[in-house]
Each structure stands twice: as C-alpha cells, then as structure tokens.
C-alpha cells in the first residue's frame, strides 16, 4: 500500500491503496464516486471514461500511481448543476435505455466536443466508437451530440 | 368511460399507516426524480403522506408518489408503468414522484421483467390502481360536501362539483385513505388519455446523467465485503484443490471461502478481490463432457436429418410428406446460429446479508419473486424472512432472469456472516453465462405452380427447444400442410433465454427462406407474405396465433414508409416481418455497397403494439431492438473448445458500435388497443431484413450467423 494524493472534481483526496489500483476502483470503492462504471476492465467498452486534464481516458486501465498531478473529472463533477450542454442534450433527447453506459458516453462526448466543436457525422461515429452501448442507443447519442454541438 | 369491477387482490388495498411507506422518508428526492432541476415545481416539501393503496400515496402538498412495481432493465417501465397509474388517477405528471417498489407479492402481481410482458400484463392492474384511488378521493370529497359522488368531476388532481367548488386531492387524501374500496370503478376512454400516449422523459434521467448511485454495482453498505469468485474454467470441470497463499498476501483481501465448486475471494475493495481471485492457484478435474463447437455443429446437423415422429412434432397440420411428393419443386435450406452471451454492460452482481433473523437481498434481478423462492428453499428459510430490493439494471436481455448471482451472494454471506456484494468480472460474466443456445433450422417447402403448398420447419438446438406456442406462428394457419419438429441435444453448457428467445434466430431463418422463395417464384417478397396471410385469414390451415389483418397492416406501413422497391439509386432493400411477444413488426433494411461490400445504412420499421404508452421511450426501445438484432446477426459469435468459451471479454467478442449502427426510422400503427410488448419484438426481424438486403445487393444468400464470417460481408 502507498499513499496517493489525487485531485478529483477539483478537490484533493489522500488515499492508501496499492499503486497498481486502477483509477476506476479508487473512484468507485474508495471515494464512492460510483457514476464511473466498470464494463470490461481492459479499455474496450468506454463505460469507465473520465477526463484527465480534460481528455477522455479509460479509468479502468490507468493505475493510480500514473496520475501524479493530473486532474481527474468524473461525471459527478462535469457541471455544477447538471447543465453542461451535453447533459442538457441527453435530457432533451431522453437518450438512456438502461443508462449504464451513459456516464461514459457523456464523458467521451464532452471531450470530443471540446476538441472538435463542430463534428461531422463521421467524426462523431469515429470519436464515439470506443464506447459500447449494449442497449444500442447509438441513434440518440449521435443526435444528442449534434444538439450539444449547437449549444456548447 | 368503461365501468369495471374491481377484481383486485383485496390485500393490495389494505390500508397501511402513512408512516410505513410514506412521508418523511421521501425527503427531497422528488426534486430530481421527474423534473429537470432547472424547473423544479413549486411544491412546498410535503409534511404528510397518505397511502391510498399499494401503488400510490398522496401528500398534503399535492404531490403523488407512484410505485413502479416491476424491475427496470432499460425497457423504461419505471416511467411508463407509473404513467398508466397517473393517467387513471387523473393528476398532472409533473406532480408525480416515482419510486421503485421492493418485492411485495401481497401487493403486486408479476414483478418480473421478461417476455416483453410488463406493460401488457400490468395494463389493467395499473389502470385499476389509479382509477380506484381516484374514486376513493371522489367519494371522500362527496362525503365532505354531502353530495352524490356521480356529479363530481376530476382533472389534474382537482375535484370539481357542479357549482364550481373545488377540492384538491391533497385536501381529501387523508379521508380518502380511510374510505371503503369501491366495488366498481370507471376507466377512462383511451381517446381521452392525457398522459398515456404522450412522451415523458425517463424518471431516472437526472441520476443517470449526473452519475448518482442507481445500479446494483453501486451498492455500498456498512461492513460490506466485495466478493469475486473463481469458477471452473470449462463446462464439465470441477474443483479439485486450491492454494490461496498468494491471494492472502494481497492488501485488502480478508478471506477466501470455497462453496459449490467455486472459490470466493473477499476483500475491502473490488480491485483487491479481483487481484485475489487472479492470484488463486486452483486445480480442476474433469467431471463431465468437455464439448467443442465442431461437435455441436455435427450433432445438430445430424439431428436435423433425424426422422420426424410423434415425439418430435410440435405442430402437425395435414400431411407435408405427401404434399412434398406432389410438389413441382422442393426447396430445402439449413440455417445456423451460434451460442450468444448476453453481455449486459453491467456485469452480474448482487448484494446479500444473511443473518439468523433475516436475509436481505438487493440488486439487479429480472425475477425477484422466483429468486426469493429459490433462496428460501436453498436455505430452508421462510419467505417472509427474505427481502428483495430491486436496483436499476444495466441491461438484462434475459440473463438476469436467472438468480444464480443472488444465490452466490447469499451463500457467501451465509458462510462469512457479513454483508457481501458479489461482483462478476467481465470475464466471469462472459464465461459463466447462461447462453442463447446454438440452434439450427431446416426449412423445407413444396412448391406447386409457383406457390408454396407445404412447409416444414425442423429445429435442432442445444438444450432448449422452442416453447409451446411458437409453432403456431406464421406461416402456421396459411397452409393446410404444415409441420414443425423439434430435436435437442442435452449439453452441460448452461443455456437459457436471450432477448426474444428462439425467435431471435427463428425469424431470421423463416424470413430469409421466404425471401428466397419469393425470388425463386418471381414474386414480390411482400406480395408473397400478403398472399399467405390472406390464406391464413381464409382459414386454409388450422388457426395460427396471430391476426392476419394486423400483420398485413404493418407490412404495408413499412413498405410505404420505406418507399419499397422505388428504385433508389445504389440502395438495396430487404424485407422482413415477424410477430412475436404479441406485437407485429415489419422492417425494411437498406444497404449500400462500400468498397465492394454491403453496408447497412437504414432500417425502416412499422410496429403494431397497441397503444404506445410513452412514445419517446418506445422509439428508443424499438430502435435498440433493431440495432441489437443487426449487431448480433453481423458479429455475435461464441463457441467452445473442450468446454472452454472462446472469448471472455470485448477484445475477442465483438458488439456493434456506433459506426456500424444504421439509422432506424420507427413508425407505430395508431391504435387504441391495449398495449402489447415492445422490449423484444423489433429484434427478431432485423437480421432477416438485413440478409435479404445483402442478397439484393450482392446476389448472395446468408444462411449462417454471424454474417462477418462470410467473406463478402463488410467487416
Ligand atoms: S471498463 Fe474501462 S473501458 Fe471498459
Ligand atoms: S443505455 Fe444500456 S448500455 Fe447504453
């Protein structure tokens, strides 16, 4: 075990875990931030997507000792009032079915839009291809990202 | 309005004290439950709640809590079932707070998510719950005013008497809670519905988009241990011995326990339990057949050729054998599909706390009542000592019908006498599955003067044959000589229901076969189906289980909306139509050629499912079914070598992703008929429509799933 100081959603936390513990489990089990989901553990499904200094990463595959001073943002910290343009678009399109993948989809979509505010259909498809939605809400995700792009 | 006798289980109307389910425990959860935070309704916080019946209670501030009885797996019942109650209660949806009910067999019937039946089977009971409460509120007002209740009208939670005086539901809720349960209530005429039939957002949307705890995997309880289980690496193996020395050196691991040929590692975090599980050194021994997919293929193909007899007949109309002899031509084709894992994105998990006094269970489960029964039996405990709470589920698709994970949690908790959350790793989830069984069909049709005169379907499946009513599906009823035969091979690989059981592949076989017959007989594929349906209507064969007119209705609607065969440049269409889970669906697939390979771009879908309770969610559900059907027909592949699954995670198992998902265009038949199912019925026809479109584009037929195994299909 070792002590780590990590910054999540603007606040810093000291945690005592094995250095190889993926950020995903630090968030879920140690900080009780359970919005970030486990789907595969091997960077294949995107359910665990968080932002590391604003870029989308797979938290299941980043051990806590690689984080250093980089800032983590999770779905819980995406916006203060659940009013990020992407969250608003998700609400407007009523995107979720089961909802399990959606935190990861939203985190990936927000990072995509911050890099490419005006994505084409193909940009969206490629940018979102790492996020599985087992319920297949892909049409709505795409439509919501287009709506969000108009409003960011 | 329709007058209906209240046939409720009286117990569901037993008055319970406001404290037992009501009031203060609700707290402020309503703020996020239904309304976007930006437009919170202006209610003062409620100070008292009055339970009118098991489904609903009304607060002194006018808010209404409606219980959602059934498990939510993403089929949206947590929104749509309470909508039905609120409709008959006659309140504003904005005033409704929805809460997930726990298992309560006294108050609710059929708390199951399966077979696309929640809405269909719940429809009457939900309407009655709302209507009965409405009547009790009206009676309470009538008593207060000393007038005949029949002169009173309700709207949006307000009762009005002829002279214009008003009482809100909130004002009479306390006396209504003590009223007699009426013997008779009026139900609204569906044409006057104000909530049902309108689009209402998911009641959990705020929690989902802000990452609040909702799912089974999010469960955290005082003193809870995480358990990750090591299971046999192959079907047909059992535990011989194990060494947990390394496991016990891992930080956070507290205990290792053996049960039922499995080993559970307990720890204070999921990660530590997962690491501990990987560090176990276990030895396994053979305990049964270690089966290969090649063996399954050979066995099933042999079964398809087995002679039909009274044991194998699932339905037998007339004499197909004789008709085959008289035919000008016999067409015979074989269709093959592999096992499929469910791959719910939330892996199986469950919470259990077993003590001498009680067993608390909580988590994602499609069958809470069945699971409680099973655990009561297993532990020789009275069902009354066992509580089952239902979390939202990260998908079900049939996998969460089987409570094996809840039993595991209970067994482990029983052994260590601590609260336990069992967590399947993805690898556990995929390799300890209860799979869609590998299945093959042979379809044989006799043609005479360019028409089908006889039809035989032979099924060979691992473990599970189609259930009783499926042989009565179309084209049963359309032909005097029609036969279905089932054969099975019993395997130790666990199999079970997978979204749209049996029909998920049966529809593909039948719908591509009919397309091929249409080509061979130079008939338009739609015309061929319509002719057969007209024959069914005339009663050419003994009755099938479908309504030919409704079937023809969706076929024509889909053709119309898709512009069927209107010579679109470079776009190739394929057609399919199927009736399942009481719902009629027709689909037109469109493919284009990209780099000389077909790619699906669009699906046009027509659905007759009776009243559409919540259109925005129904469209989502229907689209999801179509894309799921396409994804699995294209890519779904799962097999075994020596009893060991070929894939254990998404690196080796391909699920459809956004770039491959077509645009899906949904059209519902307008209807005032009682609602039928929607979670499953759009899936079965999708693969067939796509295969038929691929044929239109390439001239090549597909007989096997997954399609990507054929070199002419775009990857
Ligand atoms: S859980 Fe991290 S990508 Fe799947
Ligand atoms: S909504 Fe269920 S996995 Fe995406």
Spatial neighbors of A24 by CB under 8 A, at least 6 apart, are A36, A38, A41, A48, A59, A60
> Domain check: are B220 and B205 in the same one?
no
Q: Domain for residue B298, yes or no?
A: no
ipTM exceeding 0.95, yes/no? yes
Q: CA angle, corner B407, sides to B401 and B408, nearest 5?
A: 115
Q: Domain for residue B23, yes or no?
A: no
CATH C-level class of A85-151: mainly alpha
Q: Domain for residue B146, yes or no?
A: yes
A50 close to B (CB below 8 A): no
Asked which of B397, B423, B449 is the last residue of a domain, the reply is B423
> Domain check: are B327 and B410 in the same one?
no
> Domain check: are B319 and B261 in the same one?
no
Closest CA to B13 of B243, B225, B193, B181: B181
Tell me the per-residue pLDDT of A99-128, one tens digit each, with 9 for 90 and over. 999 999 999 999 999 999 999 999 999 999
Nearest to B37 among A18, A47, A82 (CB): A82
> Domain check: are B477 and B526 in the same one?
yes
d(CA B127, CA B121): 11
Q: What is the radius of gyration, based on Cα positions, of chain A?
A: 15
pLDDT at B443: 98
Q: Which residue of A has its CA nearest to B225?
A: A29
> Domain check: are B156 and B276 in the same one?
no
Q: In B391-520, which ranges are E strands?
A: 420-423, 439-448, 451-462, 481-489
How far apart are the CA of B422 and the centre of ligand 1, in A?
A: 19
pLDDT at B579: 96
- How many CB atoms are closer than 10 A to CB B653? 21
- Residue bearing the CA closest to ligand 1, atom 3: A43
How far apart are the CA of B420 and the centre of ligand 1, in A?
A: 24
pLDDT at B75: 82
> Domain check: are B525 and B555 in the same one?
yes
pLDDT at B714: 61
**CATH assignment of the domain containing B619:** 3.30.365.10
Tell me the per-residue pLDDT of A57-79, one tens digit each, with 9 for 90 and over. 999 999 999 999 999 999 999 99
pLDDT at B704: 96
> Domain check: are B246 and B139 in the same one?
no
Pocket of ligand 2 (CB under 6 A): A 96-102, 133-135, 137; B 74, 345, 395
pLDDT at B6: 46
> Domain check: are B201 and B220 in the same one?
no
Q: CA angle, corner B610, sides to B612 and B565, nearest 5?
A: 90
Which atom of ligand 1 sits closest to the CA of residue A59? Answer: 2
> Domain check: are B198 and B220 in the same one?
no
d(CA A110, CA B85): 37
Q: Which residue of B has its CA nearest to A137?
A: B624
Which atom of ligand 2 sits closest to the CA of residue A99? Answer: 1
Which atom of ligand 2 sits closest to the CA of residue A96? Answer: 1
Q: Where are the domains of chain A?
A: 2-76, 85-151
pLDDT at B552: 98
> Domain check: are B205 and B79 in the same one?
yes
- What CATH topology corresponds to A2-76? Ubiquitin-like (UB roll) (3.10.20)
> Domain check: are B461 and B530 in the same one?
yes
Asked which of B168, B194, B209 is the last residue of a domain, the reply is B209
Chain-wide mean pLDDT for chain A? 97
Length reported for chain B: 715
Is the peptide bond prior to B217 cis by the omega test (within 30 degrees of 0)?
Answer: no
Domain range for B205: 31-209
Asked which of B163, B178, B209 is the last residue of a domain, the reply is B209
pLDDT at B12: 34
Residue given tokens 């499929």 in the structure block:
B340
Tell me the per-residue pLDDT of B603-630, one tens digit each, with 9 for 90 and over. 999 999 999 999 999 999 999 999 999 9
Phi, psi of B598, rounded to the nearest 5 degrees: -75, 140
Q: What domain count does chain B have?
A: 3
Q: Which residue of B has its CA nearest to A106?
A: B209
- 3-class DSSP state for residue A21? coil
CB pairs < 8 Å spanning A and B: 200
Same fold, A2-76 and A85-151: no
B1 within 8 A of B186, measured Cβ to Cβ: yes
d(CA B360, CA B355): 9
Contacts of A32 in chain B (CB under 8 A): 220
Structure tokens at B207: 């929690």
> Domain check: are B224 and B200 in the same one?
no
Test A99 with B661 for CB contact under 8 angstroms.
Answer: no
A2 close to B (CB below 8 A): no
d(CA B49, CA B21): 9
Low-confidence stretches of chain B (pLDDT beneath 50): 1, 3-4, 6-41
Nearest to B218 among A22, A34, A82 (CB): A34
A42 close to B (CB below 8 A): yes
């Amino acid at each position: 075990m070792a002590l780590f100081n990590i910054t999540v959603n603007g606040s810093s936390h000291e945690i005592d875990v094995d250095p190889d513990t993926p950020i995903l489990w630090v968030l879920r089990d140690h900080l009780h931030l359970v919005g970030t989901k486990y789907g595969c553990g091997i960077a294949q499904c995107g359910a665990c997507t968080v932002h590391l200094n604003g870029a989308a990463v797979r938290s299941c595959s980043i051990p806590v000792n690689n984080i250093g001073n980089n800032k983590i943002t999770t779905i819980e910290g995406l916006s203060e009032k659940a009013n990020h343009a992407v969250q608003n678009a998700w609400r407007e399109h009523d995107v979720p079915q089961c909802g399990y993948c959606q935190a990861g989809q939203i985190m990936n979509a927000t990072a995509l839009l911050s890099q490419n505010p005006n994505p084409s259909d193909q940009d969206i498809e490629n940018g979102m291809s790492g996020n599985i939605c087992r319920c297949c809400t892909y049409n709505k995700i795409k439509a919501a990202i287009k709506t969000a792009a108009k409003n960011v | 309005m329709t007058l209906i006798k209240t046939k409720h289980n009286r117990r569901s109307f037993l008055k319970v004290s406001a404290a037992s389910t009501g009031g203060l425990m609700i707290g402020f959860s309503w703020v996020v439950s239904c309304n976007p935070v930006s437009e919170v309704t202006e209610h003062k916080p409620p100070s008292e709640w009055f339970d009118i019946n098991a489904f609903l209670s009304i607060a002194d501030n006018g808010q209404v809590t409606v219980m959602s009885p059934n498990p939510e797996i993403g089929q949206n019942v947590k929104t749509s079932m309470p909508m039905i109650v609120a409709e008959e209660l006659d309140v504003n949806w904005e005033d409704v707070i929805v809460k997930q009910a726990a298992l309560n067999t006294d108050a609710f019937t059929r708390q199951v998510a399966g077979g696309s039946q929640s809405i269909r089977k719940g429809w009457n009971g939900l309407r009655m719950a709302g209507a009965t409460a409405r009547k009790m509120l009206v009676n309470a007002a009538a008593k207060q005013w000393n007038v005949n209740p029949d002169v009173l009208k309700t709207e949006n939670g307000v009762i009005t008497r002829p002279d214009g005086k008003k009482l809100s539901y909130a004002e009479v809720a306390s006396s209504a809670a003590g009223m007699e349960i009426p013997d008779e209530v009026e139900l609204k005429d569906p044409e006057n519905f104000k909530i049902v039939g309108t689009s209402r957002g998911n009641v959990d949307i705020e929690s989902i988009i802000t990452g609040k705890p909702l799912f089974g995997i999010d469960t955290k309880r005082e003193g809870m241990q995480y358990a990750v289980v090591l299971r046999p690496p192959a079907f047909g193996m059992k535990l011989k011995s194990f060494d947990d020395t390394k496991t016990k050196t891992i930080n956070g691991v507290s205990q290792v326990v053996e049960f039922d040929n499995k080993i559970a590692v307990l720890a204070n975090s999921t990660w530590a339990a997962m690491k501990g599980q990987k560090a176990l050194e276990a030895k396994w021994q053979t305990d049964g057949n270690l089966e290969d997919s090649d063996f399954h293929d050979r066995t099933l193909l042999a079964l398809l050729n087995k002679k039909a007899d009274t044991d194998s007949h699932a339905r037998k109309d007339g004499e197909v054998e004789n008709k085959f002899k008289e035919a000008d031509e016999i067409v015979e084709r074989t269709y093959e599909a592999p096992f499929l894992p469910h791959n719910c994105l939330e892996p199986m998990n469950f919470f259990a706390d077993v003590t001498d006094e009680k067993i608390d269970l909580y988590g994602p489960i499609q069958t809470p009542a069945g699971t409680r029964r099973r655990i009561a039996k297993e532990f020789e405990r009275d069902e009354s000592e066992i509580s089952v709470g239902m979390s939202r589920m990260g998908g079900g698709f049939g996998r969460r019908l089987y409570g094996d994970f809840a039993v595991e949690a209970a067994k482990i908790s029983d052994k260590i006498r601590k609260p336990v959350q069992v967590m399947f790793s993805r690898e556990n989830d995929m390799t300890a599955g209860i799979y869609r069984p590998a299945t093959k069909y042979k379809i044989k049709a006799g043609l005479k003067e360019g028409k089908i005169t006889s039809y035989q379907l032979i099924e060979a499946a691992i473990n599970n044959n189609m259930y009783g009513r499926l042989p009565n599906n179309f084209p049963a009823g359309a032909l005097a000589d029609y036969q279905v035969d089932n054969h099975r091979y019993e395997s130790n690989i666990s199999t079970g229901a997978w979204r749209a059981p049996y029909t998920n592949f049966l529809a593909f076989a039948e719908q591509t076969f009919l397309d091929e017959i249409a080509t061979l007989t130079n008939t338009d594929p739609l015309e061929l189906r319509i002719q057969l349906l007209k024959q069914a209507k005339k009663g050419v064969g003994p009755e099938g289980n479908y309504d030919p007119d409704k079937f023809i209705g969706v076929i024509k609607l889909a053709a119309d909306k898709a512009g069927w065969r209107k010579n679109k440049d470079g776009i190739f269409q394929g057609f399919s139509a199927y009736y399942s889970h009481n719902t009629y669906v027709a689909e037109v697939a469109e493919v284009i050629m990209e780099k000389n390979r077909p790619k699906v771009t669009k699906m046009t879908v027509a659905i007759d499912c009776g009243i559409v309770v919540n259109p925005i969610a129904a469209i989502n559900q229907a689209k999801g079914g179509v894309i799921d059907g396409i994804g699995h027909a294209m890519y779904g592949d799962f097999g075994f070598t020596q009893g060991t699954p070929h894939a254990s995670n998404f690196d080796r198992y391909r699920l459809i992703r956004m770039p491959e998902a077509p645009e899906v265009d949904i059209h519902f038949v307008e209807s005032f008929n009682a609602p039928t199912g929607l979670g499953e019925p759009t899936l079965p026809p999708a693969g067939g429509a796509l295969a038929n479109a691929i044929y239109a584009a390439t001239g090549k037929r597909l007989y096997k799933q997954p399609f990507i195994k054929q070199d002419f299909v775009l990857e």
